[in-house]
Structure 1
Amino acid sequence: MNKISILDCTLRDGGYVNDFDFSKGTIQTIISKLGKAHMDIIECGFLRDIIYDENKSLYSDVEQITPLIKTKKKHSMYVAMIVTGTISASQIAPRTKDSIDGIRITFHKKEIDEAFTLGYALMDKGYEIFMQPVGTTTYTDIEILSLVERINEMKPYAFYLVDTLGKLYAKQLLKLFYLVDDNLDEDITIGYHSHNNLQLSFSNAQALIQSCGKRNLIIDASILGMGRGAGNLCSEIIAQYINENIEYRYHTELLIELVDEYINPISYLHPWGYSAGYFLAATNNCHPNYIGFLLNKQTLNMKRIYQVLKEIPEEERALYNEKLIDSLYLKFQENEVDDKEVLEKISKIIKGKRIVVAAPGKSLIDEKNKIQEFLKEENSVIFCVNSIPEYMNPDILFVSNQKRYHQLKKEYNVKNLPFPVLLTSNIDGGKAMDFVVNYSDLVMEDPMISDNACLMLFNLFIKIGVDEIFTVGFDGYHTNVERNYYDQRLINSSDREKLSTINKHIQKYMKKIESHMEVHYVTDSIYDRSRSDVR
């Protein structure tokens, strides 16, 4: 009878969600409870050539993992993963009875020779080796058979089918499985690692289990499906399926305890799971990181994200290339215009006036009375950014975000507003829009904040010689997204993990802004360097 095993990769693949920052105690508890739950294979994290931090599931030596698995369960195998090229075999100590039992090696097509050299070296040190080609779906049948031939010579513990793009339907997966199964040495286990972009991880796992015949099979999963983007197959779900349909083996109540005590709190700060964006990634054969990049820009609706994905060359879609997607995004946004006359008009409007920038932060509500008192002073010109607070009468509405423009267009007839609408040239506002400035002249070189609306407006002010502005609602980002905007309709499904990083990049850029122009923060802002907690 074949053996169906579950490999839990929460601490490894799930670690992409929270930058592997679980804490030492949490790592120990997760490993311990997975063992007590009778999980077959427990992946403890990555092995990399790094400076070790005991609070992260990243290790520079297997001996750093040993204390975390000191109560090894006989029914469980303990493993770690190496990305080919990130650590050498000479840095890995030989296997002992107390160390991890196996090492998974992941590699791209161009790294096959290097991966096999690493695999043989680690086998010589006593480890069970799992060979895991990235994006198996990008291989031709001939390439698969050639790789399987080398795998048969090597005789590792397992060879993997990896649906990196989360795009395979059961029929396609089984075709790939049968191709490998018919040609792979019968003593080598086949593994399956999926991503849940099309919500197919569980159904595909069932199809494999029902069709694998005599072949030993490993199914990868993680607690609550923890993993970047759309996430993975849920360990607790596949474990319960095996309990009810094959044999009772796993204590799923312990997995649910891990969900409740450790994984749910992480998901509140760093959410993952199915979304329309990851659907587009899978159906366009694109690496999910492309979608993550575009979603985090918070400027494009799904229609325009789809248009950007279509511009990615076919040969570049399966493997993530950040420089490529950044250049395509900027190219998509650019639409050069001659804005000399517009800049002159703006200069005349603001001449001799006190410039107030109203960003859409939550302080517009929290500090409403203070703002209204401040705005009573005459001789002000108010620029509202990407929104119109109901108690304000702006002199100019600045819009640099296509998604926000569509929202405003639905709520107001923007062409009939009693004040000018100033658009950047990436916005399709129609020919009737008189105030349009060049998008490319205002963006930042830093891709993390390249087209932040407030910073673009500040750059415009510097360009026309403004030497002083006042800001309200320029609060900064919170990981609790409900605190980011005065109107919940403005909340984006952004990656919360990156929000604090964005703050740091904006803080750095504001130093440059303030070297050209004096900025007064009327409402509370994390960018206000006069605050004691801002350096």
Structure 2
Amino acid sequence: MNSLKVLDVTLRDGGCVNDFNFGQAYMESVLCALEKSRVDIIELGYIDAEKGSEKGRTQFINDQVITQHFLRSKKAGVTYVAMMDYDKFDLDNLQQRLESSIDGIRMAFHKNNCFDIISAGKKIIDKGYKFFIQPMTIMRYSDKELIEFIEKVNQELPDATAFYIVDSFGEMRMNDMNRILNLVDHNLLSSMTIGFHSHNNLQLSYSNAVTFLQFPTNRNLILDCSIMGMGKGAGNLNTELFLEHLNLYYDKKYQITPLLEVIDKVINVIHNEMYWGYSVEYYLSSVNHCTPNYAGYFYQKHMLPVNQVAELLGMICDDKRNSFDKDYAEKLYQTYNSNKSFDDVNTIKKLQEKFINKRVVVIAPGKNVIRHIDNIEALIKEEDVVSVSLNNFKIFDTDYIFTTRKDAYNTAVNAGKMIIAPSSVTTDSMESIYVIDYKKWIVVDGETQDSSGVMIINLLKKCNVKEIFLAGFDGFSVNINENYYDITMRIPVTEKQAIMRNEFYREFLSKISKDIKITFLTESKYV
């Protein structure tokens, strides 16, 4: 290579973690640390006319507010850039570049818009900015399509600063790197820089970056990274780690200490509140070549086991893989479960005979039941009471186990328990196992809500019970140690997820209580 520059994306890609809500003080701390580290190029954030803000966030309403409220002075030798998605900002509103302005625009786009960005690039260059071409999910291009696009760039945008290899889903391996690098290097104008932006779904960002640096070329290179890998999903290449590598093996003089200090004071604080980094769902997203938002949706909303998440990701249509579509994801989930239907008419009749006009105690595995064991035990022993445990029966010997989890179902079968289970778990109806139609009991106000609590309460309403007592319906906390008395049931949730689930249950139970008396036996966030 001729020269290498490092481009830090913490304020932009890192903003995908916290919805760009760094706050002005944290924004300035990160910027100051990057300037002190001598990073070559700093990406300040997104420009988005619809979702942007004037200050306090790194998603900006236009380019002017960046210099008005954030980049008040520029350090010599540093290039300052911002990203915009194709068609998310009217380029007629982009001001002519001044010495005090940002220096460049990085434009991200999907394959179906690749030729449309030519005119956008010309406008940006004509206004005095460096223009960086960022084709997202470059692995979706065939060799022929990529060469045709590069040839168009050569003809129409010869003054563009850089052409990027963007591994949006963190799916590239060394052979992919070498194939695409050879294609781009062989066909792109020699005057144009090649950049590489990775995600760490397969934990290959570092090794792919090394492969990128070792590629035999005489052209300039740019490598993207972020402090502590902060970025969407599995995150990015770590700036502090790779600068150290460059200092050791490429005789660079980057300063690592300012980055470590801002990690200690800023990035760690954010990381404690909002997670990024490797997880199984991001791995599954990568190997299924789709945006990680689908895996997150299936895993977090429906709390599915990973094998079912993998099956669902494999069902996603090619034209839906690049961008998350919530409505499509929900329809796909319902389609996935359509083969799990079960004629439960006779089952419901039998259950109605067992539950009609009864007082029913439903015991969820919330931690608060520990403090009320004696009271709960006394109640479930009363003559007109029927008791049901949800997915766990380690503490209470209840009349029935209602389970939506295969592992809990198997444990209950082996223990000889009376079981109520949806057809998503089993279709083996027998004297001790009551199978209900999964699809019938999961819809609330038109949305799929297939938690065990929702399903059993819907079922009890159908059975015309007299009163429902709820124990262990604690509600969700970001502290997973507070959610379940059985640590094997713990599933991490974000603050946003906890709030959404608590609000849903609060509204759901409020509606049910208009028809059936509901009494909480233990403390709950749903009250």
**Shared fold (TM-score, shorter chain, > 0.5):** yes
1:487 aligns with: 486
2:348 to 337, 343, 346: 343
1:179 aligns with: 183
1:200 is displaced (CA, Å) by: 0.9
Q: Distance in 2 between matches of 1:149 and 1:297?
A: 44
Residues 298 and 304, structure 2, Cα contact 8 Å, conserved in 1: yes
Q: Is 1:62 equivalent to 2:63 in the alignment?
A: yes
1:215-274, Cα deviation, whole Å (9 max, x unpaired): 211111111112232221111111111111112321111112222222222223322222
1:93 to 95, 99, 119: 95
Residues 353 and 380, structure 1, Cα contact 8 Å, conserved in 2: yes
2:421 to 420, 423, 427: 423
Q: Is 1:450 equivalent to 2:445 in the alignment?
A: no
- Shift of the 447–223 alpha-carbon distance from structure 1 to 2, 3 Å rule, reads farther
Residues 403 and 409, structure 2, Cα contact 8 Å, conserved in 1: no
Residues 390 and 401, structure 2, Cα contact 8 Å, conserved in 1: yes
1:524 aligns with: 523
1:391 is displaced (CA, Å) by: 2.7
Q: Is 1:42 equivalent to 2:42 in the alignment?
A: yes
1:354 aligns with: 359
Residues 366 and 484, structure 2, Cα contact 8 Å, conserved in 1: yes
Residues 13 and 226, structure 1, Cα contact 8 Å, conserved in 2: yes
Q: How does 1:213-228 map onto structure 2 within 5 Å?
A: 213-228=217-232
Residues 472 and 523, structure 1, Cα contact 8 Å, conserved in 2: yes
1:34 is displaced (CA, Å) by: 0.9
Residues 429 and 435, structure 2, Cα contact 8 Å, conserved in 1: no
1:292-336, Cα deviation, whole Å (9 max, x unpaired): 222213543232222222322345434444333322222223411
Comparing 13-22 with 369-378, which one deviates more in the overlay? 369-378
Q: How does 1:212-361 map onto structure 2 within 5 Å?
A: 212-297=216-301, 299-334=303-338, 335-361=340-366
1:32 aligns with: 32
Q: Distance in 2 between matches of 1:201 and 1:434?
A: 49
1:51 is displaced (CA, Å) by: 5.6
Q: Distance in 2 between matches of 1:112 and 1:405?
A: 46
1:143 is displaced (CA, Å) by: 1.2
Q: Distance in 2 between matches of 1:446 and 1:229?
A: 30
2:213 aligns with: 209
Comparing 167-176 with 272-281, which one deviates more in the overlay? 272-281
Residues 448 and 502, structure 1, Cα contact 8 Å, conserved in 2: no
Residues 193 and 222, structure 2, Cα contact 8 Å, conserved in 1: yes
Residues 467 and 516, structure 1, Cα contact 8 Å, conserved in 2: no
- Shift of the 15–344 alpha-carbon distance from structure 1 to 2, 3 Å rule, reads same
- When the two structures are superposed, what TM-score results if normalisation uses the length of structure 1? 0.90
Q: Distance in 1 between matches of 2:23 and 2:448?
A: 29
Q: Distance in 2 between matches of 1:117 and 1:518?
A: 64
Residues 28 and 68, structure 1, Cα contact 8 Å, conserved in 2: yes
- Shift of the 127–519 alpha-carbon distance from structure 1 to 2, 3 Å rule, reads farther
Q: Distance in 1 between matches of 2:291 and 2:62?
A: 30
Q: Is 1:475 equivalent to 2:480 in the alignment?
A: no
1:150 to 130, 149, 152: 152
Q: Distance in 2 between matches of 1:417 and 1:256?
A: 53
Segments of 5+ residues of structure 1 without an aligned counterpart are: 529-535
Residues 32 and 71, structure 1, Cα contact 8 Å, conserved in 2: no
- When the two structures are superposed, what TM-score results if normalisation uses the length of structure 2? 0.92
SS at match of 2:328: helix
